[in-house]
Amino acid sequence: MRDEVRWFVVLADEENVTAAAAQLHVPQPTLSRKLGRLERQLGTTLFDRIGRRLVLNDAGRIYAEHLRRADAELAAGEQRVRELGTPAERVVRLGFLHSFGTWLVPQLIQQARAADPALRFDLVQDAAETITGLVADGSLDLGIVSPRPAASGLRWRRLLRQDVHLAVPAASPLARETAIDFAQLSDVEFVAMGRGFGMRQLLDEACDAAGIEPRISVECQELDTVAGLVAAGIGIALLPDSPNTRVPPGVVLLDISGIDAGREVGLVWARDRALPEPARRVRDLAR
C-alpha cells in the first residue's frame, strides 16, 4: 500500500521523471503512465511541464503535502507492526557533536532512562556533517547538531539557542574591548574547527556576512583545543556558550556585534524512514 503513495512523493521531491524512476527502480514510461492516470482521475494536472522538467503547480503542492503525511503515517504503521512481531532490544542510536557530550546529551539520556529504564544508547560523536550523513543513511536514529542542516531528507526539532562569543588571548589589544564588531577582524588570525564541523560553518557564514576573508592559522576538531590555542596566543576563535563553559586562563570572551552571534541546536531524524519506538520516545522527550 505504501508504494501507491510513495511514488508520487518521490516524484514531487525530484520534479524529474528520470531521476524519480531511478530512485524507485521502475521504468520511466511506467512512472509517466502512473502520473497520467492520476491526473485523469483527479481531473487536473499536478505539474507544469517545462522542457523535461516537472514543476509542482498549486494543485500538485496541495496533493503532495497530504501524501507526504500519509507516507509518514504508513511507514510508522509498518514499523509498529514489525515491532510487535519481533520485539527488539530497546537501543537508541544517537549521534552528537563533541561539545554536547558533557551536558546536553547526558541530560537527555538521564531524562529518557527515568521514563524508560530499559532504554540503551549507542553513541557516536563526530562533526555535524558526519552525524547528519549517518542519520540520513540509516546508521543512526537521531542526531543532535548545530546549526540546522540544509539537507532536505531530514526533519529538525529545535532544542535551544546558544550564544556565541569571540575568544581572544588576554594579551591581545582586543581583550580591552567589551564587544567587537565582526567586520573589524579582517587582519586577525583565527583558530577554527575543520570543515564539516558546525562551528566552522558558523565562522564561514559570519565572515561572509561581515565581508571578510578569514585568516586561519590552525584547524582542529575539539572546542577545548580551540580554547587552549587561543590561550596560547595562536589566534582568536568563536566559542559557543553552554551551562558548563570553562575557558582556560589567558582567554577573554567578548560579545560580538554586526552578525547573528548565536547558533541553533536541534534534533534531526530521517524524513522518509520510520523511527523505531525507542527512538520515537527519545525524540518526543527532547524538547
Closest CA to 47 of 34, 180, 94: 34
Dist. CA 183–CA 83, nearest whole Å: 54
Inter-residue contact 201 to 214 (CB < 8 Å): no
Dist. CA 143–CA 184, nearest whole Å: 35
Alpha-carbon dihedral sign for residues 14, 10, 68, 92 = negative
Helix axes 28-42, 2-14, angle to 10 degrees: 100
Q: For residue 54, what pLDDT is reported?
A: 87
Closest CA to 269 of 188, 153, 109: 153
pTM for the model stands at: 0.68
Q: For residue 79, what pLDDT is reported?
A: 64
The β-bridge partners of 53 are 50
Q: For residue 200, what pLDDT is reported?
A: 94
Residue 5 CA to chain centroid, in angstroms?
A: 26
Below-70 pLDDT ranges, the chain: 1-3, 76, 79-80, 82-88, 245
Q: For residue 216, what pLDDT is reported?
A: 95
Dist. CA 187–CA 182, nearest whole Å: 11
Q: For residue 229, what pLDDT is reported?
A: 96
Residue 154, classified by CB atoms within 10 Å of its CB into exposed (0-12), middle (13-18) or buried (19+), is: buried
User: 3-class secondary structure for the chain?
Assistant: CHHHHHHHHHHHHHCCHHHHHHHHCCCHHHHHHHHHHHHHHHCCCCEEEECCEEEECHHHHHHHHHHHHHHHHHHHHHHHHHHHHCCCCCEEEEEECHHHCCCHHHHHHHHHHHHCCCCEEEEEECCHHHHHHHHHCCCCCEEEECCCCCCCCEEEEEEEEEEEEEEEECCCHHHHCCEEEHHHHCCCEEEEECCCCHHHHHHHHHHHHHCCCCEEEEEECCHHHHHHHHHCCCCEEEEECCCCCCCCCCEEEEEEECCCCEEEEEEEEECCCCCCHHHHHHHHHCC
Q: Rounded to a whole number, what is the distance in angstroms from the first to the last CA of the chain?
A: 33
Q: For residue 86, what pLDDT is reported?
A: 52
Dist. CA 26–CA 20, nearest whole Å: 9
Dist. CA 203–CA 263, nearest whole Å: 11
Inter-residue contact 117 to 281 (CB < 8 Å): no
Domains of the chain: 2-85 (1.10.10.10), 91-159+265-285 (3.40.190.10), 162-262 (3.40.190.290)
